Chains A and B, each alone.
Chain A
Amino acid sequence: METILEINDLHKKYGNLTAVDHISFTIEKGHVYGILGPNGSGKSTTLGMVLSVVNPTSGNYSWFDGTTTTHQALKRIGAIIERPNFYPSMSAVQNLKLVCKIKEIDYSKVEEKLELVDLLSRKHSPFKTYSLGMKQRLAIASALLNDPEILILDEPTNGLDPQGIRQIRDIIQKIAATGTTILLASHLLDEVEKVCSHVIVLRKGQMLYSGPVDEMNNNHGSIVIDAPNRDDLFAFINNQNYAGSIEKLADGFEVILIKDVDNSQINKDAFDQGIHLSTLFHKKQSLEDQFIELTNQL
């Protein structure tokens, strides 16, 4: 597996405040990564350090297996941080051409990327006349100009209206589908859940987890179960060795599983005891639940 970014023990202090506390992780090619964490957890600082705009207090990082300098590596990636930063009096095309000059690429992709983010019709208007959604889309177009090996997005839907959020999310999914490696920092969990295969969870500058989304918590989810005779059902389910805590809902019980179990087996066991189930489904724990659980561990 090709390594795109390797971070070793990266540390950043602002005076007494520790923004990023000895973080290490690796980004492999072809995955979509999410950096999760509440506001102020060090997401942007971490990204700022690997993008050479923030000086690390200690630790190091290397791009593309250290085969190139950070400055040269940045020409091969695409990144937008926090909010779109462009020259207000330049048009979309003029701004993108400037980025081309910085990245040392030709102008051939300008139109194509503007089309991808649906800005072709406004390409000659000055940047300052754009709505926030359009600005953010232009930023994505700009980050894609060099067909980057990795796309880094920091809070890409921050401050957008629902329609704008949808547009950005669709674009991200389109890009992810092409096999581009993406690193997405966000505090919006459903955003990450929808596109990411791997997550890095930060809290107060410390890394709590790094790995595939499904393995974030070692848990088996829960089942929702119901039968006409609630008392019998409760007695039955409470006796099973896979049942953890049981919560009474309006339409049945939610049972936290402490062990993997097959739904058909539950159904069969219940039937054998004369209980006819009217509802039985397995519920995976949402990323939000997992995240809250994980960040509460400290």
Chain B
Amino acid sequence: MKRLIDIEFHKFKYSKSSKVLTIIYLVIVFALMFVGLYEVPFKGAKASLSDLGIFDFPYIWHLSPYILSFLKFLIAIVIVSLTASEYSNRTLKQNLIDGLSKKELVLSKFYLVVALALVVTLLVFLVCLFLGYLYSDITEFNLVFRDVEYVGAFFLSHLTFFAFCLFAGILVKRSAFALGLIGIWCIFELLTFLFTSHIDLRFGYGIWDVLRDILPMSSISNLIVEPFTKVSLVKNGWETLSQSEFEKDYSVRWINVLVCLGWTTLFTFWSYRLLKRRDL
């Protein structure tokens, strides 16, 4: 295992796209961190985003992972290009000839995917901790780490998505087309959502309620429910508008966790099967 990680890290370290995109990712993360510091004039006084309470514990554990999980598309580019360029440079073939088995090859890529998901999760954890302590008055351990489960969901959503990218890269062999495939799949799920919810509304079925817990992209995005309506300002506004109490389950649902783990396993296994059956 150490050898495989070592091999994959060597490839990652000396790849141009990985360097560039890592830097872009970090820059965006740090830029977002300091958005809270930005103060805007508001009714004669100065107000900043932090005054909304969005950087407070435990809300920060929900908000930051949700916002930052949109950035996984950047890392997806790295994974897809690292995988697909192994085909276009024919280094995949050479790796096999040099003595890496097909199983080891997929495993080494999978370890990279896990490692990247872990690294960004650690990053988001530190960012939350930092912002929370910076803006929040709460320092009690139990309160600080309440709702930290969203960080776990953040990890899983990245892991599953990266495994999907790995599979797409191996399936399509060209990075641009593989990214296209991921995009098309997202659109497909969106259209499925529109179509089924239309039918559901019309005939009173619950097709989308089932599908949204099965389709990979939908499962990934449902891992972390949007946090905006949790903010009292937004919530109160909504309740005033609709004249009813607003209730929503924000927790990480077990069905999503299980389905995401299932997809991760399937994508990795399919990548192996595909590679094994192919002549290079």
Q: Is the CB of A89 within 8 A of B14?
A: yes
Residues of A near B94 (CB, < 8 A) are: 81, 85-86
Given contacts A86-B89, A99-B98, contact A104 B3 (CB under 8 A): yes
Q: Is the CB of A52 within 8 A of B96?
A: yes
Q: Is the CB of B97 within 8 A of A79?
A: yes
Residues of B near A71 (CB, < 8 A) are: 99, 101
Kindly state whether residue B207 has any CB partner on chain A within 8 Å. no
Residues of B near A142 (CB, < 8 A) are: 98
Q: How large is the interface on A (under 10, 10 to 19, 20 to 34, 35 or more residues)?
A: 20 to 34
Kindly state whether residue B280 has any CB partner on chain A within 8 Å. yes
Pick 27 A–B contacts, CB within 8 A, sort by A: A14-B279, A48-B280, A51-B96, A51-B97, A52-B96, A52-B101, A53-B93, A53-B279, A54-B280, A55-B277, A74-B98, A80-B97, A81-B93, A85-B89, A85-B90, A85-B91, A86-B91, A87-B91, A89-B14, A89-B16, A98-B7, A98-B10, A99-B98, A101-B7, A103-B98, A103-B99, A104-B99
For residue B7, which residue of chain A has the nearest CB?
A: A101
Partner pick for A101 among B6, B16, B277, CB 8 A cutoff: B6
Q: How large is the interface on B (under 10, 10 to 19, 20 to 34, 35 or more residues)?
A: 20 to 34
20 additional A-B residue pairs with CB within 8 Å, beyond A75-B99, A103-B98: A14-B279, A51-B97, A53-B96, A71-B99, A72-B99, A75-B98, A80-B97, A81-B93, A81-B97, A85-B89, A85-B90, A85-B94, A87-B11, A87-B14, A88-B89, A90-B14, A98-B10, A99-B98, A101-B7, A102-B100
9 smallest CB-CB distances across A and B, nearest first, come from A75-B99, A85-B94, A74-B99, A85-B90, A71-B101, A53-B280, A54-B279, A102-B98, A90-B14
The minimal Cβ–Cβ distance linking B17 to chain A, given in whole angstroms, is: 9
Q: How far does the alpha carbon of A85 sit from the alpha carbon of B93 in the complex, in Å?
A: 8
Q: Which residues of B from 1 to 44 have beta carbons under 8 Å from A?
A: 3, 6-7, 10-11, 14-16
Residues of A near B15 (CB, < 8 A) are: 87, 89
Q: Is the CB of A55 within 8 A of B279?
A: yes
The minimal Cβ–Cβ distance linking B107 to chain A, given in whole angstroms, is: 13
The minimal Cβ–Cβ distance linking B22 to chain A, given in whole angstroms, is: 15
Q: How far does the alpha carbon of A98 sit from the alpha carbon of B8 in the complex, in Å?
A: 9
Partner pick for A94 among B14, B93, B96, B98, CB 8 A cutoff: B14
Q: Which of A53, A74, A88 has the most CB of B within 10 A?
A: A53
For residue A54, which residue of chain B has the nearest CB?
A: B279
Q: How far does the alpha carbon of A37 sit from the alpha carbon of B7 in the complex, in Å?
A: 37
Q: How far does the alpha carbon of A236 sit from the alpha carbon of B7 in the complex, in Å?
A: 74
Q: Is the CB of A87 within 8 A of B89?
A: yes
Q: Is the CB of B93 within 8 A of A97?
A: no
Residues of B near A75 (CB, < 8 A) are: 98-99
The minimal Cβ–Cβ distance linking A118 to chain B, given in whole angstroms, is: 22
The proximity string for B residues 66-103 relative to A, scoring 1 for CB distances below 8 Å and 0 otherwise, is 00000000000000000000000111011111111110
Partner pick for B10 among A55, A83, A97, CB 8 A cutoff: A97
The minimal Cβ–Cβ distance linking A261 to chain B, given in whole angstroms, is: 49
The minimal Cβ–Cβ distance linking A138 to chain B, given in whole angstroms, is: 12
For residue B278, which residue of chain A has the nearest CB?
A: A55
Q: How far does the alpha carbon of A99 sit from the alpha carbon of B91 in the complex, in Å?
A: 11
Residues of B near A79 (CB, < 8 A) are: 97
Q: How far does the alpha carbon of A107 sit from the alpha carbon of B277 in the complex, in Å?
A: 33
The minimal Cβ–Cβ distance linking A256 to chain B, given in whole angstroms, is: 44
Q: Is the CB of A48 within 8 A of B279?
A: yes
For residue B276, which residue of chain A has the nearest CB?
A: A55
The minimal Cβ–Cβ distance linking B48 to chain A, given in whole angstroms, is: 42
The minimal Cβ–Cβ distance linking A217 to chain B, given in whole angstroms, is: 34
Q: Which residues of B from 94 to 140 have beta carbons under 8 Å from A?
A: 94-102
Given contacts A54-B279, A55-B277, A90-B14, contact A102 B89 (CB under 8 A): no
Residues of B near A51 (CB, < 8 A) are: 96-97
The proximity string for B residues 251-280 relative to A, scoring 1 for CB distances below 8 Å and 0 otherwise, is 000000000000000000000000001011
Q: How far does the alpha carbon of A83 sit from the alpha carbon of B94 in the complex, in Å?
A: 10
Q: Which residues of A from 76 to 126 have beta carbons under 8 Å from B?
A: 79-81, 83, 85-90, 94, 97-99, 101-104
